[in-house]
Amino acid sequence: MKDQVMTEDEFLIKYQRFLDGDCSPEEIAELNAYHDHMQLEDGIWDIDTADQSLIKEEIAVRLAESTRMEPVRLQPVWWNKWRVAAVIAGIGFGFYGVKVYQRVHERKVQQLATAALSHDREEKKIYLTLGNGEKISITDAGKGTVTEASGVAVNKNNNDQLSYQHGGAAAANSATPEVNTLSTPGGMQFSITLADGSKVRLNASSSLRFPAYFTDNKREVYLTGEAFFEVVADPAHPFIVHVNDQAVQALGTSFNIKAYPEEKTAKTTLLTGAVNVKLPTAVKPLRVGEQLHYNVTDQQAWLSEVNVETVTAWKDGLFLFENERIDEIMLEIGRWYNMKVVFSAGNVSRKFSGKIYRNKKIEDVLKILDLTGAMNFRIINNQIMVTIP
């Protein structure tokens, strides 16, 4: 043991005061001096040895920045790709989540938890709207046949999948198939197998409008929000997704479209095969791994190479961000928890990277983000107030 040891509680309290901007220059100097011999071990710090160096680096950077010291070997941590996520999310609230928030931010956590508990009690259901306007709660429906649409049986296969039987014989029963709409609320996803066998996974707060079966020489659907498509190959009948001012055309391929009304830029990302995106003024072909950005306001479009893992991580229950703008990150989080996001101060265009599981409660997600130092939060009614230091 060192001759001079600051206890865990003393350090956490003082370090949290430093993060809040309440430390005097003398106290910051004490934290810097303590950091030089901080061991994070000997039973004082409840944390795995493998994570100690990362935590020490994060603390060193913040302390050094506050005193304009030049840290050795380090980058500013909160935008240094995956580092904060690895430290905070990866150790599962080990050092920061348990210690800081249980012992220092108790009151703030209680406020977040109370607000989130009230929010969690809200009823969330997935609905199928039929051609005659009838709404069926798929959430409440049992396994098996839910309804019929233009002679096509609509079956609930399990808790998160709906399927329409293949259309051949049904097409003779009705000259024009009725149009159905599947809608998801915040915090829920759902899959559907269309009459041609193509599969669509809907993200939260999204809707898909589609015919009970396909006719003529093309297959057309209409999307609002986000969805992942796995299209059955049929060269004679191209598959077309209409979204905003775009028509995404595919033959047999998989791709992701993110086009929420509240976001200025719609994004189409190709995973396999090939697609052509028809815009008001041009047609843009996509290659595997490319993402088409389309600004719905000024109708500008551009292509970029992307990590498709980050684009489709939502299907695997993850928030996965790689050098993304804070405002886009928070809009996605707010949408998942069905909460409005309001930015009260700061530069929303700053970039951030991280990984958080979507099955966490909203207060836990906000705790993780708050601890990075990149953002601070308050919950007022059903709003998340975001301050960017």
Residue 94's pLDDT is what?
Answer: 35
Mean pLDDT of the chain: 78
pLDDT confidence of 69, banded at 50, 70, 90? very low
Q: CA-to-CA distance for 61 and 68, rounded, in angstroms?
A: 10
137, 126 in Cβ contact below 8 A?
yes
Residue 317's pLDDT is what?
Answer: 95
CA-closest candidate to residue 219, choices 192, 244, 248: 248
Q: Compute CA distances 61 → 83, 144, 350, 373, 381, whole Å.
A: 12, 57, 18, 12, 35
164, 195 in Cβ contact below 8 A?
yes
Radius of gyration of the chain (CA): 25
pLDDT confidence of 36, banded at 50, 70, 90? low
Helices 8-19 and 52-66 sit at what angle, rounded to 10 degrees?
50
Q: For residue 161, list its beta bridge partners.
A: 158, 191
- 162-191 pLDDT tens trace: 999 865 554 445 578 999 999 999 999 999
Return the higher-pLDDT residue of 220 and 92: 220
Residues in the chain: 389
Return the higher-pLDDT residue of 203 and 111: 203
DSSP string, 13-62: HHHHHHHTT---HHHHHHHHHHHHH--S-TTTS-S-GGGHHHHHHHHHHH
Instruction: Give the angle 321-347-119 at the CA atoms, nearest 5°.
Output: 60
Q: CA-to-CA distance for 374 and 13, rounded, in angstroms?
A: 19
- 212-234 pLDDT tens trace: 999 888 899 999 999 999 999 99
Q: Which residues contact 347 (CB under 8 A, 6 or more apart)?
A: 326, 388
Residue 213's pLDDT is what?
Answer: 93
DSSP string, 207-219: EEEEESS--TT-E
What 3-state DSSP class applies to 133? coil
Burial class (CB in 10 A: 0-12, 13-18, 19+), 328: middle
119, 338 in Cβ contact below 8 A?
yes
Return the higher-pLDDT residue of 24 and 78: 24
Q: What is the dihedral of CA 154, 158, 161, 165, to 10 degrees?
A: -30
